[in-house]
Amino acid sequence: MNLSISAKDRLIFALDLPSRKEAEKYVRLLGESVGCFKVGLELFIKEGPDIIKMVKENSPASTFLDLKLHDIPATVSSALISAATHEVKFITIHGSGGKSILQTAAEVKNLGLEVLAVTVLTSVSELELE
């Protein structure tokens, strides 16, 4: 089994941008050079699933939905199933949601979706964690 990952596939470009127009500019520019485009909450809420479609139409790169899902297990499960229908490669859940959310994420692993758990937001200071 070959576990090596190409340099291109190690690159994830964050589309942390306010509009589809700006995101599309970067997808067209970098689409052949990166392995994945990350779509954050702001852009996804503003543009909806069409932003994922735009990435797919303009690049062979995969899509990473960084939504940090944090809700009751049934809602997280439904959201993960919905995300899988858009053929995204990665999606984030919030690890602080507890064991039940993590178990829910593990149960939907057969959807072809890689679920990543965010445990601490970068905006949280060390003092706040104490």
Give me the active site residues, please: 68
Q: 83-100 as b/e, with b when 16 or more CB fall inside 10 Å?
A: beeeebbbbbbbbebeee
| H-run or E-run covering 40 | strand 36-40
| H-run or E-run covering 99 | helix 99-107
| H-run or E-run covering 43 | helix 41-47
Side chain identity at 81, as an amino acid letter?
Answer: I
Tokens coding 80: 């993960």
